[in-house]
Chain A
Amino acid sequence: MTYLWLSLVFVALAAVVGVACVRKGASSSEARQHWKAAGLAFGALAVLTATFDSVMIGMELFHYDASHILGLKIGLAPVEDFAYPLAGVLVLPGLWVWLTRGRKPVQRRYLKGLIPQALLASRPISWINTAYPFAAAMFLTTREVDWVLVVGTLYFLIPYNLAMYGINDVFDYASDLQNPRKGGIEGALLQPRLHRPMLWLAAITNVPFLVVLALAGSPAAWLSIAVSAFAVVAYSVAGLRFKERPVLDSLTSSTHFVSPAVVALTLAGAEMTPGLLILLAAFFLWGMAAHAFGAVQDIEPDRQANIASIATVFGARRTVRLAVVLWLVAGLAMLATPWPGPLAAAIAVPYIANCAPWWNVTDTTAGRTNTAWRRFIWLNYGSGFLVTLILILQWNLTS
């Protein structure tokens, strides 16, 4: 079966690239002729393959490990060998059509700019915030780099963020329009023509990863993966819009960052000790505080666009104070974890210090907390550094 799977991977890749090239490089009538010609070419190649592959195998030029092939043969040629010409006709003529497209009237490119826009929308600066909790939790539990770790880390690095922020930007378009903050480091306005493609891109890049990760885990992992994916969608999708339901917005946002770690722990089959649960709770409080504080700067645009958030309901001052308290409780909670967990309590200090100057902020000056929010993004990198040191210490203590 190995050869079949290998072949399917390459054929699928060839098909994707081939179709993409033809869509970009040919009009619909040309595309019809293209696929007809590709079909004819494959017919001829299949006959040639059946003949000459049999001759080559008969001459003992090469052979196959019998345990890796299906055993189904045409002449002496294993059926999997026909994947080579199939992949060839799927991709190469398409590439040719695309490369020589200048000779035809150029089709309007509907999807132009989708990928760069999607990457910008996915906040590359924050990718690490979801990939790291997954990778760290997984690595510390299994103590090895296996394929689940690699696949999961890749998933929480890019596709997960692409879905989270991509869906968000599609459904936030109206309010984002009034917010000058959404053009650079913290996200991008998404052109309406890219809304539907963006949702498709999110689905296509996420579903395969979710399925593969689910296959690798137990029912507990399925549950955590489902919660994680639901939180991503429910946060901003029309109808649910958890981001516009005060308090639920902070809870969901924090789930975005804590759930990758929980998914990793369930996938790795970690034992849920009290210390681990306290750590996850502290992380969750940290995430809630981060969301609540981030919402303060948007109070004015949100209210203008008639959007509710934890900050518009509580008001700027109470929200800032709530964030400080949540960070404080998160730090104190870490003191209750086994060594070296208490060291992490120190990480709460810079967050509190960054946020405390706005202890007496008003709704009218709420926009100025953006200064602290920008620092917050960089603080996370520093915290990640400290967390890594503590985790290395933990690794050494337990090995």
Chain B
Amino acid sequence: MGIVYLAALLTGTVCMLMLDHRFRLFFWRDARAAAIVTGVGILSLLGWDLAGIGLGIFLRGEGAIATGVMLGPQLPLEEPVFLLFLVLCTMVLYTGARRILGRSSRLPHESARRPEDRRLEGRPPDDQRLEKKNV
């Protein structure tokens, strides 16, 4: 049972990376920038956690689904993994939202899409591929 939470977090993380890969959103769009954003995100959120722990706000639970491995006082192994997942989830949601917003605003003149947009996405728009499948 002790591995459930960690496994769930890792599964979620992998799912986010798959979405990222599929839609060329984050790491698959600009790996360097994505690495910096992820690093900054995890470190600052970890700082926030440590501040909360220092102030006595956050207390680790004795949940049966946690490994119980501690990185520091009140700081379980799962926490940085959770923060990684949170950052990835945030960025996939954000970049995904921008993709959708960008598309709907360009719909009236879809043909005016600049070629670089295709290159960035790395593949033809999804609707075209779906159509091919249906045929």
Contact = CB atoms under 8 A, between A and B. Distances in A.
A154 interface: no
Interface string B70-91: 0000000010000000110111
B59 A65 contact: yes
Nearest to A98: B33
Contacts of A68: 55-57
Contact of B60 (A37, A62, A69): A62
Contacts of B122: none
B90 A92 contact: yes
A65 B94 contact: no
A38 interface: yes
A60 B94 contact: no
B57 A3 contact: yes
B63 A61 contact: yes
B130 interface: no
A83 B104 CA distance: 30
B122 to A, nearest CB: 15
Nearest to A95: B37
Contacts of A10: 44, 48, 51
A30 B89 CA distance: 22
Contacts of A44: 93
B98 interface: yes
A55 to B, nearest CB: 10
A83 B63 CA distance: 24
B37 A85 contact: no
A36 B101 CA distance: 8
Interface string A56-89: 1101111111001100000000000000110111
Interface in A27-41: 33-34, 36-38, 40-41
B45 interface: yes
A84 to B, nearest CB: 7
Interface string B100-113: 01100100000000
Interface residues of B, number: 42
Contacts of B94: 37-38, 40-41, 89, 92-93, 96
A92 B45 CA distance: 11
Interface in A221-250: none
Interface string A273-301: 00000000000000000000000000000
A207 interface: no
A125 interface: no
B62 interface: yes
A304 interface: no
A174 interface: no
A191 interface: no
Contact of A62 (B37, B61, B101): B61
Contact of B55 (A2, A59, A85, A93): A2
Contacts of B78: 61
A6 B55 contact: yes
A48 B92 CA distance: 14
Contacts of A61: 5, 61, 63, 65-66, 78
A3 B51 CA distance: 10
A207 B10 CA distance: 46
B59 A33 contact: no
Contacts of B87: 88, 92
B101 to A, nearest CB: 5
19 contacts: A2-B55, A6-B52, A34-B98, A37-B94, A37-B101, A41-B94, A60-B62, A61-B65, A61-B66, A65-B56, A65-B59, A68-B57, A84-B45, A87-B45, A88-B45, A88-B87, A89-B90, A92-B37, A96-B37
Q: Which 9 interchain pairs have the tightest Cβ spacing?
A: A99-B33, A37-B97, A41-B93, A60-B61, A60-B63, A40-B97, A41-B94, A37-B98, A61-B63
Interface of B: 5, 26, 29-30, 32-34, 36-37, 40-41, 44-45, 48, 51-52, 55-66, 78, 86-87, 89-91, 93-95, 97-98, 101-102, 105
Given A61-B61, A88-B90, 6 more contacts: A37-B94, A41-B97, A87-B45, A91-B41, A92-B94, A96-B37
